[in-house]
Structure 1
Amino acid sequence: MKIAFTFPGQGSQSVGMGKDLAENFAEARAVFEEVDEALGQKLSDIMWNGPEESLTLTANAQPALMAVSVAVMRVLEAKGLNLADKVSFVAGHSLGEYSALCAAGTFSLGDTARLLRIRGNAMQAAVPVGQGAMAAIIGLEHGDVEAICKEAAAGGICQIANDNGGGQLVISGSKAPVEQAAALASEKGAKRAIMLPVSAPFHSALMAPAADAMREALAKVTKHNPVVPVVANVRAAPVTDAEEIARLLVEQVTGQVRWRETVEWFAANDVTQLYEIGSGKVLTGLAKRIDKTVSGTAVNTAADIDAAIATLLG
């Protein structure tokens, strides 16, 4: 039996997240203070008090979610957890990959916060508001959605952005082709095809300027090989070389988040327990739908941390 730690992505943010950790644990407080300092902004104030529209901004949500994940990790470590001893792999959903890499020692906390601020700003700036779109397609297989995207892409960019598993795929690209693909999906028997209220077409070729910005930012930052392998989003396979990790993070900006395949890879490689470290429990729910042999546990409160420690170190 192997254990993997997973780290949530955008959409898992909520006003108030991490506040009880900061109130209960000096280690968590130190994380939020360090992130505030790295960004030159009181991000923790927005996280705990809102307003929600400020927290939802990509440039805020990304470092904020990472901060909560790393705060949980630091508390677990203070209670005796050694990641390399107890955990076989880490993985994160989109921005969560940065949280995973910070937890595994590839990037420092301050650098991770700054990288995610650059990433958030660059993704937002890559496409003028209103020109891109994303849609969730529920109830069709990957191959069907791929074929629909190919048909719609005659009119511009349209591709799979996230394969979340359980028949849930997200498509991304130029507005008209994505709208056409959503309509086609409904015609072809999708249970639902929902346009998403997002500010940019993430994980599509339209994000190429953001990929360039991340290539430049990642080249300048100090990197270490992770203490445990990271299962990379765009590869759905483990990686241990810091330079290769950086290349894959650049690829991830325009590439597909292969989350279904990541969980399937875990299941095929004797991972039976996933701990979702940070805000919410989206990944825990997805794991359940993807492979019943893998059980997930969300860890984001003081009680969750105590329960996880009892299991991991018991």
Structure 2
Amino acid sequence: MRARRLRASLRGWGGVGAMAVVCALAVLFALLLPAARSHGGDTGGTGGPGVTRGSQTRAEECTDPEEQTLAPSAADGPTIDAIKSRTGEKRKLVVGVDQNSYRWGYRDPNSGGTAELEGFDIDLVHRIAEDILGDPDAVQFKAIPTNQRIPAIQDGRVDMVVRTMTINCDRMKDVAFSAPYFRTGQQLLAPRSSPITGYDGSLAGKKICTAAGSTAYSTLEQDRADGDLVASADLSTTVPNQLDCLVRLQLGEVDAVVTDGALAASQAAQDPTVQLKGDPFTTEYYGVAMKKDADDLVRRVNRILVEFRADTTGGWQRSYDVWLSETLGRDTAKYEPPDPRYLRKS
């Protein structure tokens, strides 16, 4: 393609000289290409200049990130073998979750003396643990702030993160994702009495809270740079955990919160003085995040997700009915993930 564009631009030069330039550039490109590929070929770690350069190349080419995952497989590999080789009390799947997201991952003080973690994401974690270790309770939950989800994976503190984490191209530089398990979109949460009407001019001069490292913050920054968000909107308030934004809103320190609509609906259910304002202004998908080189674990999780979706009595639909139907409604059509496509080859 580059050669064709170059030939077209040189067509007016005429003669042998122009073609000589094209040929020389083509040879130079051919000589440099293997070297460039060799820098980006290492996907085995999370650091080093070679990995970074290769990740940036993939991110630039990234389209439909929810499809950039590996095909399902039941085969064990080095990552799963390492998990299974843990002994005694340590023979557990270590998973980063939220413990403050109502209906997703939270502790219900009314559930009894234990106040165990429960919610949609927690159901999925138990399903994964049952498949890999034969015991749905063989899980060590680690509460991970929003801005620590990727570092926790890279540092090996957790095997995976199941925490309403949106799949996107930027994050795919650092972690691998499963196929999507839920569809949502960014939405505004504000007091019922607020003059804010949605993602529009009513945000002029308003303080908006987002979680650091969230897709909400990056979306707002990009939209303001592109002119799709009013320039006077104040994005300076960021917090480690998304729920902290609700507290800031309740205290009157900010005018609105932007987060995933599925989470915002749960927060509105917790506090009837706030409500969703306007429609979702993005489409996003939650996925399970793992280390970039954990191919066997990614494939296994993708197989588990296929079964989780197909299981109408104890899978995705049941979890939705139990945890989310009260806040999101009985109709699941706009929350169901698309049929998975597995476009990542290695």
TM, length-normalised to structure 2: 0.25
Structure ranking higher in helix proportion: 1
Name which one, 1 or 2, has greater alpha-carbon Rg: 2
TM, length-normalised to structure 1: 0.27
